[in-house]
Structures are given as C-alpha cells and as structure tokens.
Chains A and B, each alone.
Chain A
Amino acid sequence: MPKKKIIAMLLAGGQGSRLGVLTKSMAKPAVPFGGKYRIIDFPLSNCVNSDIDTVGVLTQYEPLALNSYLGSGQPWDLDRMNGGVFVLPPYVSGSEGQWYSGTANAIYQNIQFIDQYDPEYVLILSGDHIYKMDYSKMLKFHEKKQADATIAVLTVPMEEASRFGIMKADADDRIIDFEEKPKHPKSNKASMGIYIFNWRTLRPYLVQDEADKSSEHDFGKNIIPKLLSDGAGLYAWSFSGYWKDVGTIKSLWEANMDLIGKTPEFRLADKDWRIYSKSQAMPPHYIGTDARVKNSLVSEGCVVYGSVETSVLFTGAHIGKGAVVKNSIVMPNAVIGDGAVINKAIIGEGAVIGANAKIGDERLPEDGEYDTKLTGDITLVANTVTVPADKRVPVGMIVK
C-alpha cells in the first residue's frame, strides 16, 4: 500500500450521555446539527478540505446510525482507491477481545490499521466538536517546530479552564506544563483534543501505556504527561476561531443558534470551506401562504405553514398551520402539528407533536418534580416520540 504522509484517526465512540435521550440510539457524532448536517460532518469535512484523504473512524457506542451514515464516504469525497474513510470498531483478535477502554487504547488497538499506511504523522480528532480548522496549517507548524507532538489550543475564559486539559507554553510555543482538568488552572490555554503525533514517536508510547495496568489509557491523562516528562518536543498550536463542544443539551442548542443571522457566530456560508454531508434527496423547502419565517435556517424538504422565529429547521421538518416555533431546533422529519406552540425546545428526529400541544410551556405547580439537570430551561422531545394533541410539556422537561 502506498505510504501516506498523514492519516487522521477520529474518535467517535463517545456515548454523549449528557445529551440525554438524543443519544439513546446513536453515538454523539451522529447527532444532527445545523439543519442538514451531523456532528461528524465537521471533522470529516475539515480533513478533506485540509487534503487528508485517509480517516479511521473509531466507533463503539451505538455504531449503526454512524456506520450507515458514513457508507462508502462518497459525500465527503472519501471514497478513494488508496485511503478513504474506514469505520473501526473494536474487534476480537485470536482469543483476545476488548472494548476500547480509553482514547489511547482505541488507537493502540488500531496500530495495524495505521501501520498499513506507514504514515509520518497521525492526526487525532474527536467527533463531537463544531469548528472549521485547516489541519494542514497545524501540520506545517508541527513540521517547522520539528515537534514530536503538537496540540491545538484555544484560549478559554479562566472560569471554564478547569473543564479542559490546560497547558503552559514558552515563548517558542513549546509546552512546559500540562494538566488534565486541573482544579486550579495556571493558564487558560486549553487543549482542543486535536493532536498531531509523529507516528514513530507515538507508537512505542501506546505499546508501553497499554502494558501499564494502572494507566487509564487516555491521551490527556497518560500519554501527553508521559511524553512531557520524558522531555519530548511538545508544541502548542494556537487556534482562534469558532469552536464548540456540543456535548450538552445547552451547548448543542447554543451552537445551532450560533448559525443564525446575517453575521452569525459560526458561518456555514463559506464557499472556501464547505461542510459536506449526505444528501437526503429532498425537494427545496416550501413556505406556505400564511407562514411567517423570521431569522431562521430552513433546510430542504421542510414544509412550513405556521410561524417560525429564530429557529433551525432540519431536513424534512413539517410545521403545521397556526403552529408557533420560537428559539427552537426541529430535527429531521419531525412534525409539528397545527396550532402547536414550541418554545426554546429541541424536537428530536422524527418526533411528532400533536395539534395544539405546548412544548416548553410555563412550569406550573401541578407539574410536580422533574429533573432538569441535563436540560436547564431547554425542553427536549426524544427522537420518534409522539406527543399527544393538546398536551402541555413544561420548561426543561424531557419527553421520552
């Protein structure tokens, strides 16, 4: 097999438990985003736009939706003679077999896959972030610094720093200190979970880490600190631009809202950096005579008879007559019945909201106690659920 300079390994095994019912039957990277995309479209499109044509996608949790979505890789131009996109689930080898027990272990278990291409560099990505990044620029930096590993870093607000891997770098961008989720962060330069490694450097570390029974087999907790303590050349590549971890209901909602408007926080209308996705072969959307759409994104296959404001309508969504949808996300093929009112909610894929139902309605004493830990003030209706006509669903409730 011809040698590759760089290949990407995309960690897509995450369950995304903080997304609640949205990830009940699909892994986080397969969650719909931005009207016609799924989360994984962003790292995949970044790869293709950065001239990386070989991507291993490591799956574990509920892989079916993701597998069938990726198919041959054709929508991303990743159906290649040499390279392309590969789904890599854990497997049994000889009599041994195990689940991926950590990010480093997942790569360790696919050493053979990587070795086939004998790459100089391996790019490690995660499948749960929304951003546009030119990895080729990061690679150039990596080569220039003659680094062993380069970590993409983002400046985050100090108060959020303890959620991330935090590093300190010298004037030459060389990392001198790295702490995974520190209680008292010393800087606000956060790891984005995007690494370029020299494969020759990383490979023995993965083998060594695997043998260490006390290790959690995690890049941030084990591999990076070990490399650092061994004096390897680790460099921080600063990224400035939109980047959002869509791991929670709130952040998923926010990131969708960030796409709306003339000068949105995150601009999809970028001809130089297209985000590719699998086409659903639907006709253009239709806006009815009495419909009112304001400040929103509307995708192909949508049919709108009601009123929509500051919302994102995904492929094939249907908004009935007199329905009012505000500050909400309506996922693919969901149906909002006539006269229904949807307020600050996420309506799951294929969910059906009955006529005159109220989603995200004011919380009343008779609603009793329910858990809003995952949702806050966002109301969530799970995929394919049917909400009966006239039903009230109060703020922050999850309908499953």
Chain B
Amino acid sequence: MENAFGLIYTGDASMELRELTFSRSVAAVPFGGRYRSIDFMLSNLVNTGIYNVGIIAQRNYHSLMDHLESGKEWDLHRKRDGLFILPPFVTHDNTGVYKGTVDAIRSCMGYIRRSSQRYVVLMGSHTIYNTTFNDMIKKHEESGADITVLYNVEENYDLSEQYDDLRLKFDANGRVTDLAINPRDSESKFCSCDAFVMEKTLLEYLVEDAYAHARYDFTNDVLVRNVKTLNVRGYEYKGYVARLNSINAYYRHNMALLDKAVTKDLFSHDHPIYTKVKDEFPASYVGDGRAVNSIVADGCVIEGTVENSILFRGVKIGRGAVVKNSIIMQAAEIGENASLNCVILDKGVAVGNNRTLSGYGTYPVVLRKGTKI
C-alpha cells in the first residue's frame, strides 16, 4: 500500500473529440474495444496499491458515474477509503461552476484534507498508459522534489492536435527549468503525461494561494508560473502513451492497438486494466463471418467481413457487410451488405442494409451516439 491517494480531474473541455464528447466527459470516452479512458487511470492507481481515489466530476458526468458505480470493478468499494466521486455543488462560496482546475480542486478540499495519505497523485483524464507509480513516488522522496511530473518522449508535434500539451525542459541535474503549455515550436520532446506527485499539504497550499490571487488554471497558474521557485523534477515513462487530444489522435491510438507491441504495453499481464464487466457471451463468428487484423470484444456477432478494425462489445455485423479501418463502439449494428471504411461509430449506431460510408485515414467520419442510417 502506497502512502498516497489519487485525484483525477475529469472536467477537460474536450471539444477536440467532437461528437465523442457530446454526451460524455473525456474520462468516459470508450477506448480499445471494451474500456473507457478512466479505466487506465484507475487501474494504474490500484495496481500501484493506491486505494483512495477522488474523481473530480464536472461536465456530463452521468455516463461516468454509470460506468464507475461503486468502484467495485476496480476493487475500490472499501470501508476505509475507496472511490469518491466529487461532483460540483453549490454553497455560499462555491457557485457550482468551476472557473478552472484550481477552483475544481479547491471545491473538494474537504476530501483532500480528510485523506490520511501523505502524497497525492494528481491526474488528468485524456492521457492513456499502463504503469504503476511506486518507483516514481520513491524517486520523488529520494530527490527531495516538490513536484514530480510523469513524462515521456513524444516526437509527434502536430500543432492541430495540441491540447494541454505540457512540454518540459531540464537542467543538467534533472531539475525542470521550463514548462510550456502548447508551445508553438518543438523545443522539447519531453511531454507531460498529466500525472503529478506531490505532498498533499503542498497541493493545498498551492491551490489556496492561486485562488487567493484569482488564478484558476492549475497548469498555467500553478505549475508553469512556479517552475522557477519550486523544485520540479521529471520521471520518464518509457511505454506507449495515447493522448486523446483530437479525433485523429483518437483514431490513430485505437488503430495502434493492432500492433502487438502496443497491446503488450497497454495490457500487461502483471498490471491488468480493469473495467465494468458486462457479462456478454464470447464473440461468435457465424457463417462466412470473418475478421482479419482486428480487435473484437465479447458479445459481437460477425456474419460479414471485418478488417483492420476495433469492435467494442455487442457489435453485430450483418451478412455480406464489409467493415474496414473502422472503430465500432458498443452495440452498434451494421446491416447486410453495408460497406464502411474509416468510420468511428459511437455507441448504438445502426447502419441499414446496403449503406456505404467512407472517410479517410486522415479524416475519419464520426457518427454520434444512437445515429440511425
């Protein structure tokens, strides 16, 4: 058991994911055939031995709460500690609408104060990876850092995909000398993974201090602003990182799962990723149904052809239908002889018989939840 608790912020504006976040927060965006983004954050914490987790909910959190329930799927339904969902609320000094992350964290100060652990792992909800924080916390203690930032080497530098892109620069001793958010040039390839370790008391102080000075954004007004006065250090994560910061990135990172090395990184045997169990039956290949280079979840019934695609739970592919290079979310139904290429179908989309839909690898067509064609 680590002497730390987790605090996950799920209020990202997330407009970059367009249709996928019309009815849900980024934390609840489906990923990888049976998961949602937040499953990775929660599993990382639980696999670390952190069993006290607060989730700051802000926008569209109904879908998130529905997914999390009591937290039992992550072993977080506990008498001591466990899962705490922290939605906005209205009091005399809290309007219920957060002005920014600082405001959001401040509104759950009660939870933070009550948490008995010394350290906090503060996380966002759109960066997906599989790790444990044990070594990072140990290094944090040893180095005497005020804040340790988890980062990876990110070569990708597409300005159109920049969202909360926090780049780090180090001095010779490994201390972070500069933090820049969404910089316009690629001076640094060290990119924050949106996970920070610090002492709980420091978080309390920084948040209260920023709030008192009418500063509301944690990244800008706390981290970037104080990088010269605080001892900020980095901890490198070497595995695969999926940043869900645009539709293209979302598409690319899902498709990357067809690469065995990526799957191995994201779904390690020692550190399983837990999610809500749906008790679907095993996928059934029927008649001429077949799949090639694809990921298929339980509950799917495949009578057509599926190629280079990701099928979530309970998807039905009709006879003669051909699905290529696509992401098909839970319970979508594809009619007979339909033809799909480079599409992202959200949950419960129904495509009629003989319909054809095609996007491009660089611009996949996205159909929002429940669309009927």
Interface of A toward B, CB cutoff 8 Å? 34-36, 74-75, 260-262, 268-269, 274-277, 279, 281-289, 291-300, 312-313
CB neighbours of A284 from chain B (8 A): 32-34, 295-298, 310-313
Complex CA gap A289/B290 in Å reads 11
CB neighbours of A268 from chain B (8 A): 281-282
Query: Considering residues B258, B284, B292, B299, which has the most beta carbons from chain A within 10 angstroms of its beta carbon?
Result: B284
Q: Are B297 and A260 in contact (CB under 8 A)?
A: no
Complex CA gap A170/B47 in Å reads 62
Q: Are B32 and A283 in contact (CB under 8 A)?
A: yes
Q: Are B287 and A295 in contact (CB under 8 A)?
A: yes
Closest residue to A315 on the B side, CB-wise?
B282
9 A–B contact pairs at CB < 8 A? A262-B303, A269-B299, A284-B312, A286-B260, A286-B294, A289-B293, A298-B296, A299-B298, A312-B282
Interface of B toward A, CB cutoff 8 Å? 32-34, 72-73, 258, 260, 263, 266-267, 272-275, 277, 279, 281-299, 301, 303, 310-313
Q: Are A298 and B292 in contact (CB under 8 A)?
A: no
CB neighbours of A298 from chain B (8 A): 282-283, 285, 296
Given contacts A34-B281, A287-B292, 19 further A-B contacts (CB under 8 A): A36-B298, A261-B286, A269-B281, A269-B284, A279-B73, A281-B273, A281-B275, A283-B33, A284-B32, A284-B311, A284-B313, A286-B296, A287-B295, A291-B292, A292-B290, A293-B285, A296-B284, A296-B285, A297-B282
Complex CA gap A261/B286 in Å reads 5
Closest residue to B306 on the A side, CB-wise?
A287
| 8 Å CB contact of A276 from B279, B284, B312 | B279
Closest residue to B307 on the A side, CB-wise?
A289
Complex CA gap A286/B291 in Å reads 9
Q: How far is the CB of A254 from chain B (nearest CB, A)?
A: 17
Closest residue to A36 on the B side, CB-wise?
B282
Q: Are B273 and A283 in contact (CB under 8 A)?
A: yes
Closest residue to B276 on the A side, CB-wise?
A279
| 8 Å CB contact of A297 from B258, B266, B275, B284 | B284
Q: How far is the CB of B332 from chain A (nearest CB, A)?
A: 15
CB neighbours of B294 from chain A (8 A): 286-287
Complex CA gap A311/B188 in Å reads 52
Closest residue to B316 on the A side, CB-wise?
A269
CB neighbours of A35 from chain B (8 A): 281-282
Q: Are A285 and B296 in contact (CB under 8 A)?
A: yes
CB neighbours of B289 from chain A (8 A): 294
CB neighbours of A294 from chain B (8 A): 285, 288-290
Complex CA gap A268/B267 in Å reads 27
The 10 closest A-B pairs by CB, nearest first: A35-B282, A284-B33, A268-B281, A284-B297, A281-B272, A299-B282, A287-B291, A279-B277, A283-B267, A297-B282
Q: Are A287 and B281 in contact (CB under 8 A)?
A: no
CB neighbours of A277 from chain B (8 A): 279
Q: Are B295 and A286 in contact (CB under 8 A)?
A: yes
Closest residue to A301 on the B side, CB-wise?
B267
Complex CA gap A34/B281 in Å reads 9
Closest residue to A290 on the B side, CB-wise?
B292
Complex CA gap A285/B33 in Å reads 9
CB neighbours of B33 from chain A (8 A): 283-284
Complex CA gap A294/B277 in Å reads 26
Q: How far is the CB of A315 from chain B (nearest CB, A)?
A: 8
Q: A74-B72, A262-B303 are known contacts. Are A285 and B267 too (CB-CB below 8 A)?
A: no
CB neighbours of A312 from chain B (8 A): 282
